Amino acid sequence: MSLKFLNAEGSELQSSDVKQIISSLINDGEITLNVYCIENTETPGIYISPSTNLGEIDYPGLNSPYTDYSDLLLMGSNSENDNGLKVVKVENSIEEEVRFSFEKGSSYSNRILLPQLANLSAGATVNLTLKYSADPLIPARRFYIGVNVDDS
């Protein structure tokens, strides 16, 4: 693995660390992760997976991690709106939000390529932004998913 996630203090995030994107039915939420390059990168991409660890939380999920994963992908696959989980791709200083869906970012084989992480030298640190916009027609709920960035 040539990449790892860091927190604001520069320490590596562990699988037990839970990061939250907080949104409401009327406000979108986002989180920025620091990605550190251990080795030179080539063509990294991002994809989501069912959560393997819910961390130290007071209120566990009401649904299985597989249901959360599927529901987020279904939301991103709905072409009638722009709601769901998105990653911000940056290429030539142009930002583009790409929604996670069954066709994009649901597995390693269809990961969303991240030009801002491509061809970096070892030791480089780049910010990666994830956004979530709620669908006001769906009751409020929490989603637990895993986020994977891979360059292999």
Reading the block at residue 100, the tokens are 């996670």
> Could you write out the DSSP letters of every residue in 32-60?
EEEEEESS--SS-EEEEEE-S---S-SS-
Give me the phi and psi of 96, to 5 degrees please.
-135, 130
pTM for the full predicted model: 0.81
> Could you write out the DSSP letters of every residue in 9-27?
TSPBPPTT--------SSS
pLDDT of residue 25: 45
**Could you give the CA distance from residue 96 to residue 57 in angstroms, rounded to a whole number?**
32
**Domain ranges across the chain:** 3-15+23-150
Query: If we measure between CA atoms, which residue out of 148, 132, 150 comes closest to residue 49?
Result: 148
pLDDT in tens, 75-134: 999 999 899 999 999 999 899 999 999 999 999 999 999 999 899 898 888 889 999 888
**Could you give the CA distance from residue 5 to residue 57 in angstroms, rounded to a whole number?**
20
Q: Tell me which CATH code domain 3-15+23-150 carries.
A: 2.60.40
Long-range pairs for 19-23 at CB < 8 Å and ≥24 separation? Answer: 21/85, 21/130, 21/131, 21/132, 23/132, 23/133, 23/134
Average pLDDT, stretch 124-148? 84
pLDDT of residue 14: 61
- 122 contacts 3 by C-beta, under 8 angstroms: no
pLDDT in tens, 33-84: 888 888 899 999 999 998 876 555 555 666 777 888 999 999 999 999 899 9
